[in-house]
Structure 1
Amino acid sequence: MDEGAAGGVGQRVAALRKLLGLKQHQLATAAHVSMSLVKKVEAGHAPASPSFTAACAKAFGVEVTVLTGQPYEELTVDTRQDFAGIPELRRALDRYDAPEVDGPVWDAVRLRAALDEGEALRRRGRYTLMTERLPLLLQHLYANLAESSTADATEAAHALLGDAYSLVAAIAYRFGYLDLTALARDRMSHSARRSGDPLRVAVAQFFRSTLQLHRGDYDLGMRCVDRALALAGEQGTPEGLAVVAQLHLRQAIFEARRGNGREADSHIDEARGLVARGVPAYPYFQVSSNRANVEIHSVAVPVEMSDGTTAVARAERTHLPVEGLKEDATRIGHHHIDVARAWVLHGDREKALRSLYTARAVSPQQTRYHPAVRETLHAIAAADRRATDSLAGFARWAGVKV
């Protein structure tokens, strides 16, 4: 059934449906989507949205990655460049109770500096370099925890370790290793509960919901975020309100995936109001409580609901402030990927491709390995078989056959 990484979700859905002996109307009923949408996606006339992909995966009883084809390892010209560090990262995670450290264990100051450098790399989309650096950092973090002799030192060590797990999960999720993502998120939750910081527990719940969103477990994910909202709101601190703002943005995407546009926009408004009060923009790794992130999510909501017209209108009104992003190439790149999806839905293939080129210029690794990019390329090609040089060139770079 494997169509390879170059194939699209529609091809894989059709192949697996036939393998299981299902008719299109039977899949539509099981996945709670329309039969016309199944036909359009399988034929390549409509891009497979994340919600459609997750719904079909649940109906088939498989992981989402079976339909997305992740990880796209065979697309890498030189596998040493992108994926070679993943096995070593796995080995480092397995040595949590038996770290290997040559020389003195790094102190808390050096560990924090190394983690901050890792977060800066993540924000610039430098995932390969992150993968190379994290194994050694993890060994020193494990050794630091083992040497902690007081309750305060142990809590501080877990806070540091939690940030490292956050970076591991970011790498694994971007490259499509969802098993490694889940492991890192579980480890992050474990450390958060031992960090002495209730907000870290709320942030860990936020990150846990990422996989639930990806898999289409919307009810479970929303309950998870609701618990985090209650916990963060109880703190009554500026940092707590910043986390609350980020959680409202996550709830907005959950509601959009469930087709509840009004509720999604209500969460956007809640986050916008909190940010306007002046909460910290980056209270924790990968928590962005700033105006730019709110507006990016306001565009993402109609995209998730396949409303290209509204998404395009919002995108054209959105002017991302440089000071609100602090060189966050991944967030800007993701926004342009969403805008490309919006233009496809709106029917303008040229502007969709232009947005993909912008995303690639800003955050190339993220763009190359993002499933939505591949679906957007398939949709552009299906709409006009006279592939332009620019489409063909981009598709070759991304490893997509059009």
Structure 2
Amino acid sequence: MPSPSTREVGQRIATIRRARRMTQAEVARSAFVSLATVKAIERGARSPSDDTLDSIAAALSVDPSHIVTGSTRTVSRVHAAIPAISSAISAYDIAADTAPRPLPELGAAVGQLVQWRLGAQYARIAEQAPHLLGDALAALHHTTGVNRLRAAQLLAVTARSADAVAYKFGARDLSARLVELMRWAAQQTDDHIAQATAAYVRTETFFAARAHTQGLTALEQAIDASPSPLDRTATAARGALHMRAAVIAARASDADAASLHLDEAHRLGDAVPEDAYDGTQFGPDTVRAHEVSVAVSLGQEHLQQALDVAHVWTPPTDMPAERQSGFWIELARAQVWAGHPDDAFESLKVARFIAPQHTREHPWARETAATVRRLKRADAGSLTAFSDWIGAI
């Protein structure tokens, strides 16, 4: 697919800027570039360099791939960073002779990493994760008492963000190591919420291995070990585990277990506002999104349930971008199976608009695009371009 023209790039920047209700001057200040540069780029008179594009994307809180959607820059940058992430955790249980970074400063940097994960900004995570993993490990090994517990929490959160990149980009061995690091760090904290989060993320390894029955067992054990839902955080932690258990039960073709866990997730979700705790976002909207995932995972006989949910509800715009796009990808899968390829293509386009790189790396999005193209061979234009972009040709 040809690269977008300079004018198209400028138009996308202007569109995103207006959606963020930012002026050109505000973008220039946040991106540390001149106002003249922003104006020239937006009107198509100047093509941004890689560094300028990164800076403007950061100012707009999007991944560069959201601006240059036909580019492979994010993919190449992520894969270039994978060895450094692997190296950073190669001796995680051995203290290195490195002075620890002040915990407040480290906490702020890790918090930014989490925001990038929620926004599906994978290139930025990949480039910062090696340094932050090293900093968090140094803090864990060289602090004591309450500070050590805090360092362990930060390490677990950092490992999760790095894992989001490794898993999405197919580095499954590295992903498994990062999940184990997250579990190890969570065990250092004596924090049941952190341990519940680690159990939630560990499910990725069962998905990757198609070990769905074993994954369901592991999640049910984690639910039993999780704190009673006596406050908002504990309720969200347990609810998220039930939500995850419903999906993996569906993948195991265990409709009864999927229904049981989904019902419990709904009950707990209705007890808390849509919010984020230290592990994953949970609330009524998140459970609804997973209801579609459960229906699609159960197969043809349950497709109508997915379509019914989508008929009355779509993800709110303040839901994390990765989760929003995941909903539209799952819905597209249901729509193409139900014989609605045009609707499926529209859903894929929405997913791409919300989180381009997440959509591009999602195997179900690629598979659905290939199916739609096979069914709609006469519609060559935008469908062919989309299929080329996602790698379905």
Distance 1:165 1:390, change over 3 A: same
Q: Deviations over 1:46-80 (max 9, x none)?
A: xxxxxxxxxxxxxxxxxxxxxxxxxxxxx946864
Question: Which amino acid is 1:316 matched to?
Answer: H
* 1:83-162 to 2 correspondences below 5 Å: 83-94=79-90, 96=92, 97=94, 99=96, 105-148=100-143, 150-162=144-156
Q: Where does structure 1 lack aligned partners over 5 or more consecutive residues?
A: 1-74
Choose which of 179, 183, 186 in structure 2 pairs with 1:185: 179
What number of residue pairs does the alignment pair up? Answer: 320
Q: SS of 2:89's equivalent?
A: helix
Q: Deviations over 1:241-272 (max 9, x none)?
A: 21110011111112211223344233222112
Q: SS of 1:83's equivalent?
A: helix
Residue in 2 aligned with 1:306?
299
Question: Which amino acid is 1:349 matched to?
Answer: P
CA distance in structure 2 between the aligned counterparts of 1:266 and 1:226, rounded to whole angstroms: 12
Choose which of 344, 352, 366 in structure 2 pairs with 1:374: 366
CA distance in structure 2 between the aligned counterparts of 1:132 and 1:199, rounded to whole angstroms: 28
* 1:195-234 to 2 correspondences below 5 Å: 195-234=189-228
Task: Check whether the contact 2:95–2:141 (CA below 8 A) recurs between aligned residues.
Answer: no
Distance 1:78 1:238, change over 3 A: closer
For residue 355 of structure 1, report the CA deviation from its aligned partner. 0.7
Distance 1:248 1:169, change over 3 A: same
Task: Check whether the contact 1:99–1:140 (CA below 8 A) recurs between aligned residues.
Answer: no
Residue in 2 aligned with 1:267?
261
CA distance in structure 2 between the aligned counterparts of 1:343 and 1:276, rounded to whole angstroms: 28
CA distance in structure 2 between the aligned counterparts of 1:279 and 1:78, rounded to whole angstroms: 34
For residue 215 of structure 1, report the CA deviation from its aligned partner. 1.9
Task: Check whether the contact 2:206–2:214 (CA below 8 A) recurs between aligned residues.
Answer: yes
Residue in 1 aligned with 2:343?
351
Distance 1:278 1:234, change over 3 A: closer
Q: Deviations over 1:367-389 (max 9, x none)?
A: 11111011102211232333421
Higher mean C-alpha deviation, range 363-372 or range 78-87: 78-87
Residue in 1 aligned with 2:334?
342
Residue in 2 aligned with 1:45?
none
Residue in 2 aligned with 1:388?
380
Q: CA RMSD in A?
A: 2.1
For residue 321 of structure 1, report the CA deviation from its aligned partner. 3.3
Identity %: 27
Task: Check whether the contact 1:189–1:204 (CA below 8 A) recurs between aligned residues.
Answer: yes
Q: SS of 1:94's equivalent?
A: coil
CA distance in structure 2 between the aligned counterparts of 1:278 and 1:77, rounded to whole angstroms: 40
CA distance in structure 2 between the aligned counterparts of 1:199 and 1:299, rounded to whole angstroms: 26
Q: Where does structure 2 lack aligned partners over 5 or more consecutive residues?
A: 1-70
Task: Check whether the contact 1:76–1:82 (CA below 8 A) recurs between aligned residues.
Answer: no
Higher mean C-alpha deviation, range 244-253 or range 201-210: 201-210
CA distance in structure 1 between the aligned counterparts of 2:219 and 2:154, rounded to whole angstroms: 23
Distance 1:306 1:387, change over 3 A: farther
CA distance in structure 2 between the aligned counterparts of 1:78 and 1:245, rounded to whole angstroms: 33
Choose which of 294, 311, 322 in structure 1 pairs with 2:287: 294
For residue 132 of structure 1, report the CA deviation from its aligned partner. 0.5
Distance 1:155 1:341, change over 3 A: same
Q: SS of 1:84's equivalent?
A: helix
CA distance in structure 2 between the aligned counterparts of 1:313 and 1:205, rounded to whole angstroms: 31
Task: Check whether the contact 1:253–1:301 (CA below 8 A) recurs between aligned residues.
Answer: yes
CA distance in structure 1 between the aligned counterparts of 2:388 and 2:193, rounded to whole angstroms: 44
CA distance in structure 2 between the aligned counterparts of 1:240 and 1:181, rounded to whole angstroms: 26
Task: Check whether the contact 1:303–1:338 (CA below 8 A) recurs between aligned residues.
Answer: yes
Question: Is 2:239 the partner of 1:254?
Answer: no
For residue 390 of structure 1, report the CA deviation from its aligned partner. 1.4
CA distance in structure 2 between the aligned counterparts of 1:159 and 1:256, rounded to whole angstroms: 31
* 1:268-287 to 2 correspondences below 5 Å: 268-278=262-272, 281-285=275-279, 287=280
Task: Check whether the contact 1:238–1:280 (CA below 8 A) recurs between aligned residues.
Answer: no
For residue 188 of structure 1, report the CA deviation from its aligned partner. 0.8
Q: TM-score, normalised by structure 1?
A: 0.75
